[in-house]
Amino acid sequence: MTEDYKRYWLKEAIIYSLDIRSYKDRNNDGLGDLKGLLSKLDYLVDLGINCLWLVPFYCSNDHDGGYDVIDYYEVDPKLGDLEEFKLLVQKAKSQNIKIVIDLVVNHTSKEHPWFLEAKNTQSPYRNYYIWMKEKPANDRDDVVFKTVEDSNWEYCEEAKSYYYHTFYKHQPDLNVANPAVQEEILNIINFWMKTGVAGFRIDAVPHILKNKGEERFQGDPYDVIDIWKEAILAHDKEAILIGEADVEPEDYPKFFNKGKKINGLFNFFLNNYLFLAMAEHCAKPLKKAFERLPFPGYHGQYLNFIRNHDELDLERLTVEERARVFEVFAPCPFMRIYDRGIRRRFPPMVNNNLARVKLAMSFLLSLPGSPVIRYGEEIGMGDDLRLPERESVRTTMQWDTSINGGFSAVDPNDLRWDVINDEVYGYQSINVANQQENTTSVLQQVKKMISTRKEQLALNYGIFKILETNHPQVMVYLYSLANEHVLVAHNLSYGEEHVQVSESFNTNKFHVLLGDAEIDLTASQQLILIMPAYSYCWLSFTT
């Protein structure tokens, strides 16, 4: 991996993802709102966040965390209004925080006015969606929620036809191959760019670009992204498109195209093999993943994450590898989802072993790419498996020990979002206020990692290299930017390990940035690390 050193804000981004509904209720109606998020901007600044990704806040039926959109041009009135959103963008910008929002155009809600009109065969909106008179024989080719939906096609009595849906049946897919739909998407992009947002996270990119039913794109489907890119750059030359594309790594380059298309891609492949490495207490799966992972170059960036707002999708693993991760992190069937994923947050997967939680966050904040922190991850929040499907990981932010964890002042019976209230992961034990006062807490360690990452530009712009060691359970890698170097080591083992790094270093002055490993050098200038169980170590040195 080589590139010219040039400042580029996405490479230095610390991205924080949240749902307004579950973050902070300010108007005391039991649901998070824009005013609540505004009241917590100082917290995000203190944490070190400089990019905020908001999941959909448009008008919806709330059947899928806001991804069932009814109106692309309105803020859900339960959350606030457009003027409050513009104020949020303005206030965030004054605090050097850029806001990225979701572009949800693979599908709409079946209650969207376009779909209601499309049921009429004579309507100009008919071809905004994908219809067939007869259900095709291969009606399960693209079913994503295999344990919930049994077909990609759902019959509509009013339309006397079947409509196509990639996800839930209440989310009919838009016919993005239709130039009229492409024009609608440009209108949506232009509308929100005028509010001052820094760009979009495109939901379900590969599904958007598929030919579905009898509908076909004119030319290369990926050219659509070029058009979207031109549209955002017309408003802001630094605006970005980041994309959700859970595909094989060999397909990653087609999404970048030297910066003409997507600027950042969520790295599902690396995420899957990070979990395999943590499950097997071995660095080998992660090292092997890098052998297949193409580096995007200056105009593209990988986005790394531990968990996102959906299930932990392990689709990139083989069946055998996935089974091993299930055995360790989701041993009971009710902990799994859609035959391929896990519906837990990370701390419960490791029985609240805080050393392992901090180790995972160290990986997140030091692997090549920009880190994406899901709200609550910085304090080690848990989940509620009593809730259905993906709702188990969509509980409210836990601020303090007051009623409802400081999320809302309403009577608990009047809450409109779920709060974790148990002995281990409840807000009484895990919350921001408690961890602000504890220097060894997950929150304080994450703040140190973020601060260190910002100070060490080699982590953003340096040449990345995996270093060999004499121990398979330790992962060591190096970033080099001119004569500045940062070495990062992770011990995936449950025991103390004595590790010798094969590389010879032209220095004997290592500065410990983070971690508590003991350091020594051999006569041939090879580094020796004595690392406690599940520990990490960040070192800097110059040559």
Helices 319-329 and 268-280, axial angle in degrees (round to 10): 60
Work out whether the CA dihedral 269, 272, 273, 274 comes out positive or negative: positive
Q: Which of 244, 246, 310, 384 is catalytic?
A: 244
* Backbone φ and ψ of 163, nearest 5°: -115, 155
Q: Which two tokens stand for residue 186?
A: 């440009």
Distances (CA, A) of 110 to 61, 172, 343, 501, 533: 10, 6, 26, 57, 51
Helices 179-193 and 223-235, axial angle in degrees (round to 10): 30
Residue 55 DSSP one-character state: P
Q: Which residues contact 482 (CB under 8 A, 6 or more apart)?
A: 5
* Whole-angstrom distance, CA of residue 271 vs CA of residue 376: 19
Buried b (16+ CB within 10 A) or exposed e, 349-375: bbebeeebbbbbbbbbbbbbbbbbbbb
Residue 525 region by backbone torsions, left for phi larger than 0, else alpha for psi between -120 and 50, else beta: left
* Backbone φ and ψ of 131, nearest 5°: -125, 150
Q: Write the single-letter amino acid at 38.
A: L
What's the full length of the chain, in residues?
A: 543
Q: Which of 203, 313, 378, 384 is catalytic?
A: 203
Tell me if residue 280 is catalytic: no
Tell me if residue 203 is catalytic: yes
Which sequence positions are flagged as catalytic?
203, 244
